[in-house]
Structure 1
Protein backbone atom coordinates (compact mmCIF):
# COMPACT_ATOMS: atom_id res chain seq x y z
CA UNK A 1 0.00 0.00 0.00
CA UNK A 2 1.39 3.40 -0.94
CA UNK A 3 0.69 6.56 0.91
CA UNK A 4 -0.03 9.64 -1.12
CA UNK A 5 1.18 12.97 0.21
CA UNK A 6 -1.58 15.51 0.14
CA UNK A 7 -0.64 18.94 -1.13
CA UNK A 8 -2.74 22.09 -0.87
CA UNK A 9 -3.47 21.70 -4.61
CA UNK A 10 -4.83 18.14 -4.33
CA UNK A 11 -8.28 17.54 -2.96
CA UNK A 12 -10.12 14.34 -2.25
CA UNK A 13 -12.88 13.78 -4.81
CA UNK A 14 -16.47 14.14 -3.68
CA UNK A 15 -19.53 12.22 -4.82
CA UNK A 16 -22.99 13.71 -5.41
CA UNK A 17 -26.28 11.90 -5.92
CA UNK A 18 -28.87 13.30 -8.36
CA UNK A 19 -32.31 11.97 -9.26
CA UNK A 20 -34.47 12.75 -12.28
CA UNK A 21 -38.22 12.59 -11.94
CA UNK A 22 -41.25 13.44 -14.02
CA UNK A 23 -43.83 11.87 -16.31
CA UNK A 24 -43.03 9.15 -18.83
CA UNK A 25 -41.85 10.58 -22.15
CA UNK A 26 -40.48 13.90 -20.88
CA UNK A 27 -36.91 13.06 -21.90
CA UNK A 28 -35.35 12.40 -18.49
CA UNK A 29 -33.23 9.51 -19.76
CA UNK A 30 -32.19 11.45 -22.84
CA UNK A 31 -31.02 14.41 -20.72
CA UNK A 32 -28.83 12.15 -18.61
CA UNK A 33 -27.45 10.27 -21.63
CA UNK A 34 -26.68 13.59 -23.34
CA UNK A 35 -24.69 14.78 -20.32
CA UNK A 36 -23.05 11.51 -19.22
CA UNK A 37 -22.40 9.95 -22.63
CA UNK A 38 -22.48 12.99 -24.97
CA UNK A 39 -25.07 11.32 -27.16
CA UNK A 40 -28.76 11.45 -27.98
CA UNK A 41 -30.75 8.23 -28.19
CA UNK A 42 -33.28 8.90 -30.96
CA UNK A 43 -35.14 5.71 -30.12
CA UNK A 44 -35.60 5.49 -26.40
CA UNK A 45 -37.82 3.17 -24.45
CA UNK A 46 -39.43 4.11 -21.14
CA UNK A 47 -37.25 3.47 -18.10
CA UNK A 48 -38.15 0.32 -16.21
CA UNK A 49 -37.76 1.02 -12.50
CA UNK A 50 -34.56 3.04 -12.39
CA UNK A 51 -31.62 3.63 -14.69
CA UNK A 52 -28.15 4.82 -13.70
CA UNK A 53 -25.64 7.19 -15.23
CA UNK A 54 -22.40 8.67 -13.97
CA UNK A 55 -19.99 11.39 -14.92
CA UNK A 56 -16.69 12.36 -13.38
CA UNK A 57 -15.90 16.03 -13.72
CA UNK A 58 -14.12 18.80 -11.91
CA UNK A 59 -14.75 22.35 -10.88
CA UNK A 60 -12.17 25.07 -10.46
CA UNK A 61 -12.67 26.66 -7.08
CA UNK A 62 -12.20 30.36 -6.33
CA UNK A 63 -8.73 29.69 -4.89
CA UNK A 64 -7.61 28.00 -8.14
CA UNK A 65 -7.66 24.40 -6.93
CA UNK A 66 -9.59 21.72 -8.81
CA UNK A 67 -12.34 19.88 -6.98
CA UNK A 68 -12.96 16.45 -8.51
CA UNK A 69 -16.62 15.42 -8.48
CA UNK A 70 -18.33 12.14 -9.35
CA UNK A 71 -21.96 12.75 -10.25
CA UNK A 72 -24.24 9.72 -9.84
CA UNK A 73 -27.57 10.03 -11.69
CA UNK A 74 -30.58 7.90 -10.81
CA UNK A 75 -33.15 8.15 -13.59
CA UNK A 76 -36.48 7.24 -11.99
CA UNK A 77 -39.27 5.76 -14.09
CA UNK A 78 -42.28 8.02 -14.54
CA UNK A 79 -44.58 5.00 -14.73
CA UNK A 80 -46.88 4.59 -11.71
CA UNK A 81 -46.23 0.85 -11.83
CA UNK A 82 -42.72 1.53 -10.47
CA UNK A 83 -43.62 3.87 -7.61
CA UNK A 84 -42.36 1.40 -4.98
CA UNK A 85 -38.97 1.26 -6.70
CA UNK A 86 -38.86 5.06 -7.14
CA UNK A 87 -39.68 5.72 -3.52
CA UNK A 88 -36.44 4.05 -2.39
CA UNK A 89 -34.34 6.71 -4.16
CA UNK A 90 -35.67 9.97 -2.69
CA UNK A 91 -33.57 9.92 0.50
CA UNK A 92 -30.05 11.33 0.78
CA UNK A 93 -30.23 13.13 -2.54
CA UNK A 94 -28.08 16.17 -3.30
CA UNK A 95 -29.92 17.28 -6.44
CA UNK A 96 -33.15 16.64 -8.32
CA UNK A 97 -34.10 17.26 -11.95
CA UNK A 98 -37.88 17.75 -12.04
CA UNK A 99 -38.50 17.36 -15.76
CA UNK A 100 -41.45 18.12 -18.04
CA UNK A 101 -42.03 18.33 -21.79
CA UNK A 102 -42.74 21.91 -22.94
CA UNK A 103 -45.05 20.52 -25.65
CA UNK A 104 -47.18 18.60 -23.13
CA UNK A 105 -49.15 20.69 -20.61
CA UNK A 106 -50.16 17.55 -18.70
CA UNK A 107 -46.51 16.77 -17.87
CA UNK A 108 -46.13 20.31 -16.49
CA UNK A 109 -49.32 20.01 -14.44
CA UNK A 110 -47.93 16.80 -12.89
CA UNK A 111 -44.89 18.51 -11.37
CA UNK A 112 -46.69 19.22 -8.08
CA UNK A 113 -47.57 15.53 -7.78
CA UNK A 114 -43.91 14.59 -8.30
CA UNK A 115 -42.73 17.04 -5.64
CA UNK A 116 -45.31 15.72 -3.16
CA UNK A 117 -44.29 12.10 -3.77
CA UNK A 118 -40.60 12.94 -3.43
CA UNK A 119 -41.18 14.89 -0.20
CA UNK A 120 -43.35 12.13 1.25
CA UNK A 121 -40.61 9.56 0.71
CA UNK A 122 -37.63 11.55 1.90
CA UNK A 123 -36.58 14.31 -0.50
CA UNK A 124 -35.41 17.15 1.70
CA UNK A 125 -37.59 20.22 1.36
CA UNK A 126 -35.00 22.49 2.98
CA UNK A 127 -32.03 23.99 1.19
CA UNK A 128 -29.87 20.84 1.32
CA UNK A 129 -31.30 19.53 -1.95
CA UNK A 130 -30.84 21.57 -5.11
CA UNK A 131 -33.98 21.25 -7.23
CA UNK A 132 -33.98 22.19 -10.90
CA UNK A 133 -37.22 22.37 -12.86
CA UNK A 134 -36.35 21.40 -16.43
CA UNK A 135 -38.52 22.30 -19.42
CA UNK A 136 -37.24 19.81 -21.99
CA UNK A 137 -37.86 19.38 -25.75
CA UNK A 138 -37.62 23.09 -26.55
CA UNK A 139 -36.69 22.08 -30.11
CA UNK A 140 -40.25 20.72 -30.63
CA UNK A 141 -43.39 22.66 -31.57
CA UNK A 142 -46.02 23.66 -30.70
CA UNK A 143 -45.26 24.64 -27.12
CA UNK A 144 -47.99 24.16 -24.54
CA UNK A 145 -46.01 25.57 -21.60
CA UNK A 146 -44.36 28.99 -21.68
CA UNK A 147 -41.02 29.84 -20.15
CA UNK A 148 -42.84 32.25 -17.82
CA UNK A 149 -45.02 29.40 -16.48
CA UNK A 150 -41.92 27.31 -15.81
CA UNK A 151 -40.17 30.17 -14.01
CA UNK A 152 -43.27 30.91 -11.91
CA UNK A 153 -43.61 27.27 -10.83
CA UNK A 154 -39.91 27.16 -9.95
CA UNK A 155 -40.09 30.30 -7.82
CA UNK A 156 -43.15 28.96 -5.96
CA UNK A 157 -41.28 25.75 -5.18
CA UNK A 158 -37.85 27.14 -4.26
CA UNK A 159 -36.27 25.72 -7.41
CA UNK A 160 -34.34 27.05 -10.41
CA UNK A 161 -35.71 26.83 -13.95
CA UNK A 162 -33.86 25.69 -17.07
CA UNK A 163 -35.01 24.96 -20.61
CA UNK A 164 -33.22 22.25 -22.56
CA UNK A 165 -33.20 20.08 -25.62
CA UNK A 166 -31.65 16.67 -25.11
CA UNK A 167 -31.77 16.23 -28.89
CA UNK A 168 -29.75 19.33 -29.85
CA UNK A 169 -27.89 19.75 -26.56
CA UNK A 170 -29.25 23.28 -26.11
CA UNK A 171 -29.14 24.38 -22.47
CA UNK A 172 -27.63 21.10 -21.23
CA UNK A 173 -24.15 22.38 -20.35
CA UNK A 174 -25.48 25.52 -18.65
CA UNK A 175 -27.90 23.49 -16.57
CA UNK A 176 -25.35 20.93 -15.40
CA UNK A 177 -22.66 23.57 -14.77
CA UNK A 178 -25.13 25.41 -12.54
CA UNK A 179 -26.04 22.17 -10.76
CA UNK A 180 -22.37 21.32 -10.22
CA UNK A 181 -21.69 24.79 -8.78
CA UNK A 182 -24.65 24.55 -6.41
CA UNK A 183 -23.81 21.02 -5.27
CA UNK A 184 -20.17 21.88 -4.53
CA UNK A 185 -20.64 25.32 -2.97
CA UNK A 186 -20.74 24.08 0.65
CA UNK A 187 -17.74 21.81 0.05
CA UNK A 188 -15.80 24.74 -1.39
CA UNK A 189 -16.61 26.85 1.69
CA UNK A 190 -15.55 24.03 3.99
CA UNK A 191 -12.28 23.49 2.12
CA UNK A 192 -11.53 27.22 2.03
CA UNK A 193 -11.80 27.39 5.81
CA UNK A 194 -9.48 24.38 6.28
CA UNK A 195 -6.64 25.32 3.93
CA UNK A 196 -5.19 28.82 3.51
Structure 2
Protein backbone atom coordinates (compact mmCIF):
# COMPACT_ATOMS: atom_id res chain seq x y z
CA UNK A 1 0.00 0.00 0.00
CA UNK A 2 1.28 3.47 -0.88
CA UNK A 3 2.16 5.04 2.47
CA UNK A 4 1.91 8.59 1.10
CA UNK A 5 -1.75 8.23 0.12
CA UNK A 6 -4.32 8.84 2.87
CA UNK A 7 -6.95 6.13 3.21
CA UNK A 8 -10.46 7.02 4.37
CA UNK A 9 -12.17 4.41 6.54
CA UNK A 10 -15.72 4.42 7.85
CA UNK A 11 -15.98 2.84 11.30
CA UNK A 12 -19.33 2.35 13.00
CA UNK A 13 -19.90 1.75 16.71
CA UNK A 14 -23.10 -0.06 17.66
CA UNK A 15 -24.66 -1.55 20.77
CA UNK A 16 -27.48 -1.14 23.26
CA UNK A 17 -28.57 2.13 24.81
CA UNK A 18 -26.33 3.40 27.60
CA UNK A 19 -23.27 1.20 27.03
CA UNK A 20 -21.04 4.25 26.53
CA UNK A 21 -20.59 4.40 22.76
CA UNK A 22 -20.45 8.20 22.70
CA UNK A 23 -18.07 8.27 25.67
CA UNK A 24 -15.77 5.74 23.99
CA UNK A 25 -15.69 7.82 20.84
CA UNK A 26 -14.97 11.07 22.71
CA UNK A 27 -12.26 9.38 24.76
CA UNK A 28 -10.58 8.16 21.58
CA UNK A 29 -10.89 11.33 19.50
CA UNK A 30 -10.59 14.04 22.17
CA UNK A 31 -9.15 12.15 25.19
CA UNK A 32 -12.03 13.47 27.30
CA UNK A 33 -14.78 11.95 29.40
CA UNK A 34 -17.98 13.73 30.26
CA UNK A 35 -20.28 12.60 33.08
CA UNK A 36 -23.28 14.19 31.33
CA UNK A 37 -25.26 11.63 29.41
CA UNK A 38 -27.23 12.55 26.31
CA UNK A 39 -28.78 9.84 24.20
CA UNK A 40 -27.57 9.81 20.60
CA UNK A 41 -30.50 10.14 18.24
CA UNK A 42 -29.70 8.59 14.88
CA UNK A 43 -25.96 9.06 14.47
CA UNK A 44 -23.16 11.54 15.00
CA UNK A 45 -19.79 11.49 13.28
CA UNK A 46 -16.30 12.36 14.49
CA UNK A 47 -13.06 12.04 12.56
CA UNK A 48 -9.51 11.27 13.57
CA UNK A 49 -6.36 11.01 11.47
CA UNK A 50 -3.90 8.31 12.52
CA UNK A 51 -1.11 6.29 10.92
CA UNK A 52 -1.09 2.50 10.75
CA UNK A 53 2.16 0.94 9.56
CA UNK A 54 3.13 4.36 8.13
CA UNK A 55 -0.11 4.61 6.14
CA UNK A 56 -2.11 7.74 7.00
CA UNK A 57 -5.74 6.93 7.77
CA UNK A 58 -8.68 9.26 8.17
CA UNK A 59 -11.15 7.48 10.41
CA UNK A 60 -14.73 8.64 10.04
CA UNK A 61 -16.31 7.16 13.16
CA UNK A 62 -20.09 6.92 13.29
CA UNK A 63 -21.65 6.89 16.76
CA UNK A 64 -25.11 5.36 16.56
CA UNK A 65 -28.11 5.54 18.85
CA UNK A 66 -28.81 2.37 20.81
CA UNK A 67 -32.53 2.83 21.36
CA UNK A 68 -34.63 0.02 19.93
CA UNK A 69 -37.04 2.46 18.28
CA UNK A 70 -34.16 3.85 16.16
CA UNK A 71 -32.78 0.42 15.21
CA UNK A 72 -34.12 0.42 11.64
CA UNK A 73 -32.79 3.94 11.09
CA UNK A 74 -29.39 3.04 12.58
CA UNK A 75 -29.03 0.11 10.19
CA UNK A 76 -29.15 2.54 7.25
CA UNK A 77 -25.84 3.95 8.53
CA UNK A 78 -24.13 0.56 8.07
CA UNK A 79 -23.76 1.06 4.32
CA UNK A 80 -20.18 1.67 3.27
CA UNK A 81 -18.69 0.71 6.64
CA UNK A 82 -15.15 -0.61 6.64
CA UNK A 83 -15.19 -1.74 10.27
CA UNK A 84 -17.61 -2.28 13.14
CA UNK A 85 -17.25 -1.94 16.90
CA UNK A 86 -19.78 -3.83 18.98
CA UNK A 87 -20.02 -2.32 22.46
CA UNK A 88 -21.62 -3.57 25.65
CA UNK A 89 -21.55 -2.58 29.31
CA UNK A 90 -19.92 -5.14 31.63
CA UNK A 91 -22.31 -4.00 34.39
CA UNK A 92 -25.40 -4.71 32.24
CA UNK A 93 -25.91 -8.35 31.24
CA UNK A 94 -28.76 -7.49 28.86
CA UNK A 95 -26.43 -5.29 26.80
CA UNK A 96 -24.09 -8.29 26.43
CA UNK A 97 -26.93 -10.63 25.53
CA UNK A 98 -28.02 -8.17 22.81
CA UNK A 99 -24.61 -8.34 21.06
CA UNK A 100 -25.66 -11.31 18.95
CA UNK A 101 -28.64 -9.38 17.58
CA UNK A 102 -26.55 -6.26 16.90
CA UNK A 103 -23.89 -8.34 15.14
CA UNK A 104 -26.39 -10.33 13.07
CA UNK A 105 -28.32 -7.19 12.09
CA UNK A 106 -25.10 -5.51 11.02
CA UNK A 107 -23.88 -8.50 8.99
CA UNK A 108 -27.28 -8.84 7.29
CA UNK A 109 -27.30 -5.22 6.13
CA UNK A 110 -23.66 -4.30 5.51
CA UNK A 111 -22.31 -4.36 1.98
CA UNK A 112 -20.18 -6.26 1.18
CA UNK A 113 -21.48 -9.13 3.25
CA UNK A 114 -18.52 -11.04 4.58
CA UNK A 115 -18.17 -13.34 7.56
CA UNK A 116 -14.67 -11.99 8.15
CA UNK A 117 -15.86 -8.39 8.20
CA UNK A 118 -13.54 -6.27 10.39
CA UNK A 119 -15.02 -6.15 13.90
CA UNK A 120 -13.99 -5.77 17.51
CA UNK A 121 -16.03 -6.11 20.69
CA UNK A 122 -15.64 -3.65 23.55
CA UNK A 123 -16.68 -4.52 27.09
CA UNK A 124 -16.97 -1.00 28.55
CA UNK A 125 -17.12 0.32 32.13
CA UNK A 126 -14.48 -1.99 33.61
CA UNK A 127 -13.76 0.82 36.07
CA UNK A 128 -17.07 0.01 37.82
CA UNK A 129 -16.97 -2.90 40.28
CA UNK A 130 -20.60 -4.03 39.84
CA UNK A 131 -19.80 -6.47 37.03
CA UNK A 132 -22.51 -8.68 35.58
CA UNK A 133 -20.52 -10.05 32.62
CA UNK A 134 -17.25 -11.82 33.34
CA UNK A 135 -14.21 -11.32 31.17
CA UNK A 136 -14.17 -15.08 30.60
CA UNK A 137 -17.77 -15.14 29.30
CA UNK A 138 -17.23 -12.22 26.92
CA UNK A 139 -13.89 -13.60 25.72
CA UNK A 140 -15.45 -17.01 25.03
CA UNK A 141 -18.29 -15.41 23.03
CA UNK A 142 -15.77 -13.44 20.97
CA UNK A 143 -13.44 -16.39 20.49
CA UNK A 144 -16.36 -18.45 19.18
CA UNK A 145 -17.03 -15.75 16.57
CA UNK A 146 -13.34 -14.99 15.91
CA UNK A 147 -13.71 -11.34 16.95
CA UNK A 148 -11.05 -9.55 19.02
CA UNK A 149 -12.26 -8.55 22.50
CA UNK A 150 -11.14 -5.56 24.54
CA UNK A 151 -12.03 -4.73 28.13
CA UNK A 152 -12.18 -0.93 28.13
CA UNK A 153 -13.01 2.09 30.24
CA UNK A 154 -14.20 5.20 28.46
CA UNK A 155 -13.82 7.05 31.76
CA UNK A 156 -10.15 6.14 32.34
CA UNK A 157 -9.13 5.55 28.72
CA UNK A 158 -8.06 1.95 29.39
CA UNK A 159 -7.55 0.04 26.10
CA UNK A 160 -9.72 2.51 24.13
CA UNK A 161 -7.04 3.63 21.65
CA UNK A 162 -5.76 0.07 21.28
CA UNK A 163 -9.25 -1.17 20.37
CA UNK A 164 -9.86 1.55 17.78
CA UNK A 165 -6.41 1.12 16.27
CA UNK A 166 -6.76 -2.67 16.09
CA UNK A 167 -10.00 -2.22 14.17
CA UNK A 168 -8.41 0.42 11.91
CA UNK A 169 -5.53 -1.93 11.11
CA UNK A 170 -7.95 -4.79 10.45
CA UNK A 171 -10.08 -2.57 8.16
CA UNK A 172 -7.02 -1.24 6.32
CA UNK A 173 -5.77 -4.74 5.59
CA UNK A 174 -9.23 -5.80 4.42
CA UNK A 175 -9.78 -2.83 2.08
CA UNK A 176 -6.28 -3.24 0.66
CA UNK A 177 -6.97 -6.95 0.04
CA UNK A 178 -4.21 -8.22 2.31
CA UNK A 179 -6.34 -10.03 4.89
CA UNK A 180 -5.94 -9.77 8.63
CA UNK A 181 -4.62 -11.91 11.48
CA UNK A 182 -5.66 -10.79 14.98
CA UNK A 183 -3.09 -9.82 17.61
CA UNK A 184 -3.78 -10.65 21.21
CA UNK A 185 -4.58 -7.47 23.17
CA UNK A 186 -2.32 -6.59 26.07
CA UNK A 187 -3.92 -7.07 29.44
CA UNK A 188 -3.96 -4.00 31.60
CA UNK A 189 -4.63 -4.17 35.30
CA UNK A 190 -7.68 -2.46 36.67
CA UNK A 191 -8.58 -1.61 40.20
CA UNK A 192 -11.95 -1.74 41.87
TM superposition score category, shorter chain reference: 0.7 to 0.9
* SS of alignment partner, residue 51 of structure 1: strand
Equivalent pairs, count: 177
Give ranges in structure 2 of 5+ residues lacking alignment.
180-192
1:53 aligns with 2:46: yes
**1:11 offset after TM fit, Å?**
1.4
Tell me which residue corresponds to 2:165: 177
Give the alignment's Cα RMSD to 1 decimal. 2.0
Check whether the contact 1:50–1:85 (CA below 8 A) recurs between aligned residues: no
**1:181 offset after TM fit, Å?**
2.1
Give ranges in structure 1 of 5+ residues lacking alignment.
1-7, 191-196
**1:10 offset after TM fit, Å?**
5.6
* Offset from partner CA, 1:67-117 (integer Å, 9 cap, x none): 110001111111012123211112221111100000111110111111122
Check whether the contact 1:154–1:161 (CA below 8 A) recurs between aligned residues: yes
Tell me which residue corresponds to 2:18: 25
Check whether the contact 2:83–2:168 (CA below 8 A) recurs between aligned residues: no
Check whether the contact 2:2–2:55 (CA below 8 A) recurs between aligned residues: no
Q: Distance in 2 between matches of 1:40 and 1:87?
A: 27
Q: Distance in 2 between matches of 1:10 and 1:120?
A: 33
* SS of alignment partner, residue 42 of structure 1: coil
Tell me which residue corresponds to 1:104: 92
TM-score after normalising by structure 1: 0.83
Answer with 1 or 2: which has the greater Rg.
1
After superposition, residues 152-163 of structure 1 pair within 5 angstroms as: 152-163=140-151
Q: Distance in 2 between matches of 1:67 and 1:52?
A: 22
Distance change (3 Å), C-alpha of 1:105 and 1:189:
closer
Tell me which residue corresponds to 2:31: 38
* SS of alignment partner, residue 56 of structure 1: strand
Tell me which residue corresponds to 1:5: none
Q: Distance in 1 between matches of 2:110 and 2:169?
A: 23
**1:132 offset after TM fit, Å?**
0.6
Tell me which residue corresponds to 1:126: 115
TM-score after normalising by structure 2: 0.85
Q: Distance in 1 between matches of 2:177 and 2:98?
A: 35
After superposition, residues 85-104 of structure 1 pair within 5 angstroms as: 85-104=73-92
